[in-house]
Every structure is written in C-alpha cells, then in structure tokens.
C-alpha cells in the first residue's frame, strides 16, 4: 500500500464522457481516459484491505461479489500509484486474458465490492485496469509469445466469444495446437456482434486476435459446427474439443400478432447493425432500418440498453423501453447490504442518450406487451401494453408479475426489439456432439466441472452456465482450459 491516506486525500475521478447529443452522431467509443499521472492518484485510493472483497468473486445473497477472475486488484492498484506500469501489467495478466475487453464492457463487480464503497465512492478499478493494459500496448510490453515447446496435442474450440478465446489462449500457452471454429464471418462471437461499437470498438478485438494468431492459434470462420462442419470430423481429428457456443436461443414474446413485419430479436438487430457498419459503413443498407420509426424495446438489461443507444444513432423518432419488474431503488435497501451486488437503479448510456434527445427516461416499468397490431400489409403499426402487478403464487410461494385489469393501452409502434434474455444452448450443436443438457438446455456437467457426458468433449461460457457477463465467460474459458490440459497431460500448470 503505497499511500495509506490516499483514499482520504483523493476524490474518485473517472474518464470524461462525450455529451450524449454529440456521441450519438457516430458509433465510436465516447470515453476519454485520464492522463496516466491522474490515474496514479486513483490507484492511491486503494486501501489494500485486509479482506479484499474486490477480488473475492464469491456468491453472496445469490449474486457475485467481487471479480470472478480473482484479479489481484490491491496489488496492481498499488503498482499503478507507484508508476510501475510494467509490473502492474504482469500482475494483471496473472489472472486475466483480455483486460482490454472487460475494462470497457464489465459492470465492475470489483468496484461494487470495494471497501471504499461502504461509506463513499469505490476505487476506479475498472479504469485502472484499462490504463494498465492500454499503456502496455502503447509502450510495446505486449508482444507475441508463442510457446517454446509443443505438446503434439490438438484441441478444437467451437465458438470464438470470450470463453472460447480465453480457453484457446490458455491451451496454446501450454503448448497445445489450438484451432478455433466460428460460424460467423468474423472472429469474436458476442464481443464482435453482440456488443455495439460504442461500447467496444472492433479494432480492440482485432488487435488481440493478431497477437493470438502470431502465437500460433488458428482461426476458421464461416464454420458452423453441426451443419457445414461435422462434429464427428472434429472428434476424429482432435484430441479434445471445447464447446463455447454461447447461450444463443433468444427468449420470445408469444402474443397475438407476433408474426408482424417489424418485430425482431435484439440479437439479430444488433448483429445486422454492426455487420453493416463493419462491411460498408452502412452503405450496403443491410441493417434493420430505424430512421423515423417509433421503437419499442422489450427488456431492461444490457442488451435492451444497447438497443436503445443503437436505435437513437440510427435516427429513431422515439424509443420506449419496457421493463416487467418495478423500478429498483436509487440507493441500497436495508436487505441489500455491502458487499452484496447493489440492486439499485442504473441509468446507462442508452437511457442517458434518450433523456437528452427525447427529454425523458425511455423506461416504463411493470409493463409488457399483450398484442402486436398489424396493418393490412401485415406490418407492425401499434402495440397493446398492459401494466403488471406483483402477486404471490399460492403453489410455489413465488412472487409473479401478472396483468392488472383495466390498464391496457394501445401505443404507436413501427419496430419492436425483443431483448428478453436467452434460454440456453442451441440444440443442433448439442445434438451433433450428443452431449447431455440440463433442464435449462445448458450443457450438463458435474458441479464445478467442465467435461461433458461425452469423453474428450468439454464446455465453457454461457453454453455451460447460462447467459452471463463477459468476465464470467473468461473465467469459464480459463477453467475449462485447465480441465482440458489435465485430461491431455495428466496434470496441469495453468
């Protein structure tokens, strides 16, 4: 702990944001990081706690508290303050694969569990992480490091999202020959097409991929394993296979009029937008048109927020975001104490932009759609909404949100984006490998394990644990790599 009184002397300071009305003019990232000298002061705010919940990654009250990667947060916060950026980089990479991703898109579980957060504002750990990794790139600390010795073992990783890439990086580091198969035209999975550019510009992914290729990892695109690539061929060719295909089944809204033209899944909307941006800067017109349309986003999570921000950038006439649950409190409730994850209302970038453009928060709470109304051409023109109220189920004792009588209203709607979450792995993949799935259609394994019901087939990420965060996907990929390495070599030093 370089400065014991740092948390008393320095106020929390974070990167500057471009004003909403300016940043919606493009799809670029909109944060301007602090200068390194100012960032050092933020490192000084770390208290080097005797019990650092920031790195615990443990479940408290059914929610994660601290970093699932068990990042050595107090150590590299101190090194940031000391200006020892090289050692900070090495300590960060002891537990992490892709700090450049999480420092942009992670909700910062570390900060929520920070002791400074108990009676003040947390250490800006997420931005310290970004400063460490970006400084390492800028100063040439990061160079390709292919393994000096190869084991002669070959591993196929199916899926190139954060869990697949993390597993590939770790297994390659160990000396195994790794090939990553991706069904899309570009590598990155969720990082590439599920997260908009304003949160994660794609050059950040490409920069890391160039390193991974230089270190000997092979990537194959347009390879849809289970369809144009046979599972049995991979099982014959490789000593182990890791399934990291994500939680790819979007939850639907089955109400009258669902077949109306203009109702899309959020994942399809976001993918089409990013692909058109990358392919032609929207010149090809292959994205879902939004300009001058009244948009309804169903779902209040990160994906729903991304749909709000994307719709505004594409010129929507209005954006409404529906949330089934009541608004969370603005401050912690008594039954949600630190260091639990704070269940509080968060106004994210998309909602900030909607407030700036339309003059009000786009979110309507305890509300859902009961019908999509079509015109004579079968096009969506209106949506019927209803308010919801909490009611205890007599059989299960659970609280359920049920329609409240007399609260229906019809609103204008030209485009509806369903961002209601995901239901699990895709059946054609699990069927192709004949792996068992659980009641949630995730690939089934023993608790805490990564090997499936089929010998030499492993799994990781959302396909294994269900829809979750990028940081959890990276954790899963690293743990699966350890399991594969032990299977192949009889022990592991990963």
In the chain, what is the straight-line distance between the N-terminal and C-terminal CA atoms, in Å?
29
**431: helix, coil or strand?**
helix
Q: Kindly state whether residues 413 and 427 are assigned to the same domain.
A: no
Q: Kindly state whether residues 60 and 117 are assigned to the same domain.
A: yes
Only one residue has tokens 């396909």, namely 463
What single string gives the DSSP state of each residue in 436-484?
-B-TTSSBP-STT--B-SSTTEEE-THHHH-S--HHHHHHHHHHHHHHH
Distances (CA, A) of 97 to 82, 164, 431: 23, 11, 31
Q: Kindly state whether residues 164 and 307 are assigned to the same domain.
A: no
User: Among the listed ranges 109-123, 279-293, 306-320, which one has the minimum average pLDDT value?
Assistant: 109-123
- Stretch (H or E) spanning 391: strand 380-392
SS3 for 1-26, per residue? CCCCCHHHHCCCCCCEECCHHHHCCC
Instruction: Give the chain's domain count.
Output: 3
Q: Kindly state whether residues 476 and 407 are assigned to the same domain.
A: no
Measured CA to CA, the distance from residue 195 to residue 198 in angstroms comes to 8
Whole-number mean pLDDT of the chain?
96
Q: Is residue 427 part of a domain?
A: yes
Q: Is residue 441 part of a domain?
A: yes
Q: Kindly state whether residues 304 and 389 are assigned to the same domain.
A: yes
Q: Are 79 and 85 in contact (CB under 8 A)?
A: yes
Q: Are 367 and 326 in contact (CB under 8 A)?
A: no
Q: What is the pLDDT of residues 449-475, one digit of tens each?
A: 999 999 999 999 999 999 999 999 999
We report the CATH number of the domain holding residue 448 as 3.50.50.60
Q: Give the model's pLDDT for residue 50.
A: 87
**106: helix, coil or strand?**
coil
Provide the domain limits for residue 29: 6-138
The residue among 138, 168, 196 that closes a domain is 138
Q: How confident is the model at residue 1 (pLDDT cuts 50, 70, 90)?
A: low
The residue among 110, 138, 166 that closes a domain is 138
Q: What is the pLDDT of residues 123-160, one digit of tens each?
A: 999 999 999 999 999 999 999 999 999 999 999 999 99
Q: Kindly state whether residues 70 and 193 are assigned to the same domain.
A: no
**151: helix, coil or strand?**
coil
Q: Kindly state whether residues 275 and 412 are assigned to the same domain.
A: yes
Q: Give the model's pLDDT for residue 2.
A: 67
Q: How confident is the model at residue 409 (pLDDT cuts 50, 70, 90)?
A: very high
Q: What is the pLDDT of residues 289-299, one digit of tens each?
A: 999 999 999 99
Q: Are 124 and 13 in contact (CB under 8 A)?
A: yes
The token pair that represents 244 in the structure block: 């990291």
Q: What is the pLDDT of residues 67-122, one digit of tens each?
A: 999 999 999 999 999 999 999 999 999 999 999 999 999 999 999 999 999 889 99
Q: Give the model's pLDDT for residue 3.
A: 85
Average pLDDT over residues 161-167: 98
Q: Are 107 and 469 in contact (CB under 8 A)?
A: yes
């Amino acid at each position: 702990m370089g400065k014991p009184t740092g948390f008393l002397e320095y106020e929390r300071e974070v990167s500057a944001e471009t004003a909403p009305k300016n940043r919606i003019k493009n799809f670029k990232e909109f944060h301007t990081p602090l200068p390194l000298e100012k960032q050092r002061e933020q490192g000084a705010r770390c208290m080097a706690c005797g019990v650092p919940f920031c790195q615990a990654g443990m479940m408290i009250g059914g929610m994660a508290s601290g970093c699932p990667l068990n990042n050595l947060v107090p150590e590299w916060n101190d090194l940031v303050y000391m200006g020892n950026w090289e050692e900070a980089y090495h300590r960060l990479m002891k537990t992490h694969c892709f700090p450049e991703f999480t420092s942009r898109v992670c909700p910062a579980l570390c900060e929520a569990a920070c002791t400074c957060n108990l009676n003040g504002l947390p250490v800006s750990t997420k931005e310290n992480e970004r400063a460490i990794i970006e400084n390492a790139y800028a100063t040439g600390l990061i160079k390709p490091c292919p393994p000096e010795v190869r084991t002669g073992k070959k591993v196929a990783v199916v899926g190139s999202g954060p869990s697949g890439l993390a597993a590939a990086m770790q297994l390659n580091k160990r000396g195994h020959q790794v090939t990553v198969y991706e069904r899309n035209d570009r590598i990155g999975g969720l990082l590439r097409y599920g997260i908009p550019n304003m949160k994660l510009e794609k050059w950040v992914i490409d920069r890391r991929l160039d390193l991974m290729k230089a270190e000997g990892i092979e990537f194959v695109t347009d390879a849809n394993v289970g369809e144009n690539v046979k599972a049995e061929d991979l099982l014959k060719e490789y000593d182990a296979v890791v399934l990291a295909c994500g939680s790819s089944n979007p939850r639907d809204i089955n109400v009258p009029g669902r077949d109306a033209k203009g109702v899309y899944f959020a994942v399809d909307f976001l993918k089409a937008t990013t692909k058109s941006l990358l392919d032609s800067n929207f010149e090809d017109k292959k994205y879902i048109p939004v300009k001058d349309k009244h948009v309804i986003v169903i779902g209040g999570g990160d994906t729903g927020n991304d749909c709000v921000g994307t719709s505004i950038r594409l010129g929507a006439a209005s954006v409404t975001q529906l949330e089934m649950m009541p608004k969370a409190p603005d401050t912690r409730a008594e039954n949600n104490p630190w260091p639990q994850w704070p269940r509080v209302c968060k106004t994210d970038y998309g909602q900030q932009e909607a407030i700036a453009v339309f003059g009000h928060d786009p979110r309507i709470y305890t509300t859902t759609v009961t019908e999509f109304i079509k015109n004579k051409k079968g096009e969506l023109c209106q949506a019927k909404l209803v308010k919801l109220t909490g009611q205890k189920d007599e059989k299960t004792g659970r609280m359920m949100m049920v329609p409240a009588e007399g609260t229906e209203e019809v609103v204008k709607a030209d485009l509806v984006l369903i961002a209601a979450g995901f239901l699990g792995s895709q059946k054609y993949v699990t069927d192709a490998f004949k792996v068992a799935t659980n009641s949630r259609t995730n690939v089934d394994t023993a608790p805490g394990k990564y090997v499936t019901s089929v010998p030499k087939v492993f799994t990781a990420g959302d396909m294994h644990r269900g829809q979750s965060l990028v940081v959890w996907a990276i954790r899963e990929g690293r743990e699966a790599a350890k399991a594969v390495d032990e299977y192949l070599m009889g022990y592991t030093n990963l």
